[in-house]
Amino acid sequence: MDSALAPGFPLYHRVAAELERAMTEGSLRTGDRLPSVRQLCQQHAISASTATLAYRWLENRALVEARPKSGYFVAARHAALPEPELDTRMSRAGFVTPDDVTREFLLGADDPLAAPSFRCVPARTLLPEGKLRHLSARLNRLHPEYASQYEMKGSTALRQEIARRSVHAGLRLRPENIIVTNGGTEALVIALRAAAKAGDTIALESPTYWMLLEIVRSLGMRSIEIPTHPRDGLSIEALDLATREPGAIRACVVIPNFHNPLGCLMPVEYKRRLVALAAQRGVTLIETDIYGETHFGDERPPALKAFDTTDDVILCSAFTKTVAPGYRVGWMAPGRHFAAVQSLKFHTSCAGAALQQEVIAEFMRDGGYDHHMRKLRAAMRAQCERMIDAVTRYFPEGCRLSRPQGGYMLWIELPKAVSSRKVFEIGRREHIGLVPGATFSCSDRFDHFIRIHYAEPWSLLLEANLKRLGQIVAGLAAGVAIEQDRRSAAGHPLAGRVSPHV
């Protein structure tokens, strides 16, 4: 249940929240006439004063408008914020160096009071905890041997279910070609080790998932950041340029479906071109498709590996973002790298927890997974719309906003003079979960960006925190402007430059 409907909130809030939800889900559209105060009283068994308070609350938030002698109508939405633009700069190949802001982010990631939270996973209320608990108890009772055995390639039943469902991603996987891993991170580590060695250069999207930067650093590999569009994904033209020298790049890691942090979806034709280019240049593609099942549209987007004719795409995925983060169950389809991956898996962790793998296999087999994913996708789509609407209303002029078609995250560009590190520092103190853009690159080019996620049910607290976040951004932007004006008026030698301490 939306916490705005919880019994602890005033009655008029609960009535207003129901009307707002109808607007978000499309039952009520811009310009539609709302029930009269009298009709609202009859529908909800409330007093006229309560109905009036509900409409005033919605009116104060610019969701409805009162027209003299006509009643209340759904207000026009605020003009959409523009999308962030593509940063076409490409970094030189070099060794990744850890950033202090990443360490600070990790220190605050476990804050239980943060709304939104720092961790980009669905809220517990959106995960199938009850169903998994029931399956776990039953399987543990019927098969106590799961606690004392393991398979290096992973559960046969799970690999069969993964192979069966792979057709939805345009694949034809066989169970024997799949290896189960301890989460998606282990899959990425093994994939990189199978495709490259220390000192080799890896092409990464820019921005990219912060953990990838850490993995590349830990393996002693070099990275080169390829410009990535907030809507269409990695720039194939830039990768073409970076790979013209034979052997310059050993592998390329991409998140083509609902990228982290951009949320972008690579068009099908771009996927074909990317796979063809990589094959031509001898570059192994490492694809993480962990968000592929979270599409808002009717059809699941295909994986890159669906267009792989040389068997050189290593597909990595996991159930940690959709079903059970704590189970740590991931998987790989390594293609021609299978033998190397199998050996690396054995020497890395040998095997995984059998019971958790069997539970997920049964969850997929009995239809629970499909039912859960339909509900999760619907919830994410509605929550995404509410988050976009809130950011549009509360963030200052000069901001830009991604338009994801799936996944859990929004990528927000702030006015260029506003440091995401400062926004993060203030937000963390006030229990507002966000990730500064500097975390997603080895350069400072994304220091005026932030990532927030919509993987939690909407609540009054969440809305209040987003409003406060907009105020923080506006305050920092105004502070920079005031400082620049002061220097200009005083003829300061640094006039026009932004103070690093603002």
User: 6: pLDDT confidence band, cut at 50, 70 and 90?
Assistant: very low
**CATH number assigned to the domain with residue range 127-369, chosen from the 4 options 3.30.70.1710, 3.40.50.300, 3.40.640.10, 1.10.10.10:** 3.40.640.10
Q: Is the pLDDT of residue 8 over 70?
A: no
Residue 488: predicted pLDDT: 62
Read off the pLDDT of residues 456-498 as tens digits, 9 standing for 90 and up. Answer: 999 999 999 999 999 999 999 998 766 555 666 666 544 443 3
How far apart are alpha carbons 361 and 366 in whole angstroms? Answer: 9
Q: Is the pLDDT of residue 307 over 50?
A: yes
CA distances in angstroms from 167 to 28, 172, 300, 360, 416, listed in the order given: 37, 6, 10, 18, 44
Work out the mean pLDDT of the chain and round it to a whole number: 90
**In the structure encoding, which two tokens stand for residue 4, read together?**
């705005």
Q: Is the pLDDT of residue 55 over 50?
A: yes
Residue with tokens 């005083």: 490
Cis, bond preceding 122 (omega within 30 deg of 0): no
Other CB atoms within 10 A of residue 35 CB: 16
- The residue extents of the domains of the chain are 3-74, 127-369
Terminal alpha carbon distance of the chain: 41
User: What average pLDDT does this structure show over 365-369?
Assistant: 95
Read off the pLDDT of residues 419-466 as tens digits, 9 standing for 90 and up. Answer: 999 999 999 999 999 999 989 998 889 999 999 999 999 999 999 999
Instruction: For domain 3-74, give the fold.
Output: Arc Repressor Mutant, subunit A (1.10.10)
Read off the pLDDT of residues 146-204 as tens digits, 9 standing for 90 and up. Answer: 988 887 789 999 999 999 999 999 999 999 999 999 999 999 999 999 999 999 999 99
